[in-house]
Structure 1
Amino acid sequence: MFRSRVQAHRDPLLQDYLERLLYNLATYSELSRADLQLVLIDNPSMNAFAVPGGVIGFHTGVFTYADNEDQLASVLAHELAHLSLRHFARGVENAENRSKLNMAGLLAAVVLAATAGGDAATAALMTTQAASLQQQLAYSRSNEQEADREGIKTLLRAGRDATQVAAMFENMLKATRYTGSRPPEYLLTHPVTERRVADALNRTGYASSGIGPRRVDSEFDLLRARARANSWPTPQLALDAFRAERDNALPGSAQAQAAEYGIAVMQLQLGDLDAAQRAIATVRHSRPNSATARYTEQEIALAQGDYRGVIAALERQLRADPGHYPAQWLLAEAHWQAGNTATAARLLQQLSRQRPEDPAVWYQLAELRGLAGDIAGVHAARAEYFILIGVFDRAREQLQLALGLLQDDFKRSAVLRQRLLELADYQRRAEQL
């Protein structure tokens, strides 16, 4: 239902990076069951949230506030702590007779914060809190302190620099100190104050000796540039900003390389493929082993029509790393553009089994099945897509259309009938909100 109301950010590279980081942190957390779903939201604001069911919402704007991967990880570790400590769930358990009202309020507040912004979200939050004080959608101060403490422990166990928790808080304070506004309060779960920064510093003081902002061997700075690509009103403004960053950075530095990568991404968006190719070649020269730069190099080559070369390169990569989601996605896209629709559909079918709750996979699969002439398969894939974005009436319609085409196929019909029963249950629960 949340997905149906906000603009998801469909970027396999960023999605995969954050999922890997999240699951790595989860292994060091107190979460007893790491059954998690990450919803990446195309929004430049600094917001993240966690609710029962293992749902983590994450705005692309978080990348803008983080200087390094440990700062980004601190946000995810904090949200994992809320889940492991069951902060929201404990309130629901104490007020079951009002949980339906407040779950609806939760959805409304989250959607407003993801779309309209802070004031509207705060108003929705206050309204919901007034309906039931026992089920506060904003975490209490004690819960925040508890989650900060547990998140710091998770970072330490994961071998990360926990002092970056306070550094991330400082970045958020600097960005809002003189603007007269704060980031939306609910999705940050609690206002970031100077006292909270001091508390985080005190908790990590014992572990900070000899630890500086360590350089993690990751693709963070390139992916940060990629995430920031949609932060400007137009691609041209983004391109100009990345050029200014490159020109002001020390030649050859990590900052200059990240800005050059941002230039390549924006030139690709603007359709200047030769310029994009020159920019990414510069990054590849500096970072020959960068998986992120290699992926974007293939994106550019695909846009230039080098289907055979892209397919060969991606197949080599997948032989070494068979489960790499971005490469699987791009390989299917390359086969599609090359006219190999049956192969592309087969690849996405395999991907749908690995990522059954990824709406983007089902949406693309429906398109490919249509081109391959599998009309019943089109309706079945569309149904899964509509289920995942909470449009249940459309999902039922698609399942019934598929059933009408598969009357003689007992096995596939049985699967679709079972899906109709499950869909009815989903809709009943949704209506109870």
Structure 2
Amino acid sequence: MKFFVSLVIASACFTSAQAANRLPDLGGTALSTITIEKELIMGDIFARKARAALPIVYDPLLSSYIETIGNKMVAQADGVQFPFQFVWVRDNAINAFATFGGNITAHTGLVLNAQSESELASVIGHEIAHITQRHLARKIEKMNQRAPMTIAGLFSSLLLGIVNPSLGIAALQTTAGLTQQASITYTRGNEQEADRIGMQIMTNAGFDPHDASSFYTRMSDKYRAATKPPAFLLTHPLPDNRVSDIRLRAQQYKKHTRKPEYDFWLTKARIIARFSNSSEGHAKDTFRDWQKSTYPDIKFAGQYGLALLDVDHQRYQSAASHLKELFKLQPHNLFLIDTYTDLLTATKQYKTALAFLAKEYQLRPNEQVVTLNYANVAIHADQPERAIRMLKSFLLQKGENYLGYDLLTNAYRKAKHPAYANIYQAQSDAYLGRYQKAIQSLRQAKEQLDEDNFTEKKRIEALEKKFAYQQRQMRQT
């Protein structure tokens, strides 16, 4: 599905409705003791602030991929006390960031620089360990003992740390009134613990721990003398003894035989083609080099990347040729399904697209890539009621989803139901932290409903109260 969306969004550990029902007053300063409940609350508030500040690649395929990798490892972790959420930030820098309440943000540059799925998993596993060990909460408690900080200052520093780690670290140190050396010493202790636990998590989940060693060793060697190291090394220092520890720990495990990693290489191709700063010429050269590979997954991804470029640059005949060959190898691959739907939509072959997606929907009802593509085509084909049925079922099962809200808004507009279009526009805006706009949409919706529609008006009033409350929370922190 061709959503060229770099949205302002971050993950939420609780739904807004859940959090709104049980948020106590956090006060003006960060807490000397951060309980599990308070961390969940702070995670929800931070997530809503992040949605209004961070550029996120919000793409169903990329979201599914990182969620699959992350949840596979969370299932193998001890001490899990939060429902984890994983999102991508559109940034070519190498970085990943763990924040309150199970939220993990990874830069797309992490995939661009990883050479295997296990290398990527090593970083995600490391961040999972930071959360299960509550390193951030423990660090904030310790820093707060030295110099109390405001929650607003803390959240601003954390957001800045994701976008620009060097400035974020400086801001966090200023907020806490700590020296640089004290902060680094504390961080290194956490890093060693996260390395150990993260490697165990990734190994138990079936990934190769030797790839953790290769990734960190390569990063250390490449940027040893760099005056401006990547973001990841600013927030995760790599002194020689730490790299040695990782290498020695990996040697305790049996090395895995390489297996095809189709989804990893397809994800990498998608990011290069649509969500990086690569020129078309550079991306095309990369994909053609991949096609020469002796590894089937890399070769497959190379042809997929070329198909993406062809669709995006309106070379539809060439794109169809690439996709036809790829479908022979993997007829139900979601990456191919998404791109073929893009091709059919761009060429206005809506009837063909609907028939194609109907079959996939029967196989995987409510799967987000299939459902969102299917609904999008139905809207284009002037069948908004069909899209509305699918999307409401999808949101009922999956919960909050920005693209689901956005498509449902468009479907109701197409169906000439302006009140319901405004309700879901409000949901969409609230999800991104745009509460004033959301409240205005709800008020419009209420005016557009029939006078005797008391049930829907009460629901709108409840949403308005919730959004107003969340807006106050964001302003207060």
TM-score by length of 1: 0.88
1:25 pairs, out of 62, 73, 76, with: 73
- Residue 303 of structure 1 corresponds to 346
Taking structure 1 as reference, are residues 89 and 132 closer, same or farther at Cα in structure 2, changes over 3 Å only? farther
* Residue 194, structure 1, aligned to residue 194, structure 2: no
Taking structure 1 as reference, are residues 294 and 376 closer, same or farther at Cα in structure 2, changes over 3 Å only? closer
Displacement of 1:103 in angstroms is: 5.1
Displacement of 1:329 in angstroms is: 0.7
- Residue 188 of structure 2 corresponds to 141
- Residue 368 of structure 2 corresponds to 325
* Residue 229, structure 1, aligned to residue 273, structure 2: yes
- Residue 50 of structure 1 corresponds to 98
* Residue 379, structure 1, aligned to residue 437, structure 2: no
Displacement of 1:190 in angstroms is: 1.6
Displacement of 1:144 in angstroms is: 0.9
Taking structure 1 as reference, are residues 327 and 380 closer, same or farther at Cα in structure 2, changes over 3 Å only? same
- Residue 152 of structure 1 corresponds to 199
- Residue 335 of structure 1 corresponds to 378
- Residue 136 of structure 2 corresponds to 88
Conserved 8 A contact 1:311-1:334: yes
Conserved 8 A contact 2:97-2:162: no
Count of residue correspondences: 427
- Residue 452 of structure 2 corresponds to 408
Quote the Cα distance in structure 1 between the aligned partners of 2:149 and 2:382.
49
Residue type at the aligned position of 1:158: A
Quote the Cα distance in structure 2 between the aligned partners of 1:50 and 1:36.
10
Conserved 8 A contact 2:307-2:322: yes
- Residue 354 of structure 1 corresponds to 397
Displacement of 1:127 in angstroms is: 2.9
Conserved 8 A contact 1:362-1:385: yes
Q: Which moved more, 1:282-291 or 1:338-347?
A: 282-291
- Residue 104 of structure 1 corresponds to 153
Conserved 8 A contact 1:366-1:377: yes
Q: Which moved more, 1:345-354 or 1:73-82?
A: 345-354
Conserved 8 A contact 2:95-2:107: yes
Structure 2 SS opposite 1:424: helix
Instruction: Deviation per CA, 1:198-242: give whole Å up to 9, x if none.
Output: 11122222213xx23531555211121112224654652344333
- Residue 431 of structure 1 corresponds to 475
Identity %: 24
- Residue 79 of structure 1 corresponds to 127
Instruction: Deviation per CA, 1:16-40: give whole Å up to 9, x if none.
Output: 1111221121111124345122222
Displacement of 1:2 in angstroms is: 0.9
Quote the Cα distance in structure 2 between the aligned partners of 1:344 and 1:193.
53
* Residue 262, structure 1, aligned to residue 310, structure 2: no
Conserved 8 A contact 1:8-1:40: yes
Quote the Cα distance in structure 2 between the aligned partners of 1:427 and 1:252.
51
Which blocks of at least 5 consecutive residues in structure 1 are unaligned? none
Q: Which moved more, 1:104-113 or 1:261-270?
A: 104-113
Displacement of 1:290 in angstroms is: 3.5
Instruction: Deviation per CA, 1:319-362: give whole Å up to 9, x if none.
Output: 22223110111001111111112222332222222343322222
Conserved 8 A contact 2:94-2:113: yes
Residue type at the aligned position of 2:419: A
Displacement of 1:15 in angstroms is: 0.6
Quote the Cα distance in structure 1 between the aligned partners of 2:185 and 2:62.
28
Conserved 8 A contact 1:219-1:290: no
Superposed CA RMSD in Å reads 3.0
Conserved 8 A contact 1:2-1:111: no
Q: Which moved more, 1:339-348 or 1:9-18?
A: 339-348
Quote the Cα distance in structure 2 between the aligned partners of 1:207 and 1:259.
32
Quote the Cα distance in structure 2 between the aligned partners of 1:360 and 1:175.
39
Residue type at the aligned position of 2:338: Y
Quote the Cα distance in structure 2 between the aligned partners of 1:271 and 1:99.
57
- Residue 214 of structure 2 corresponds to 167
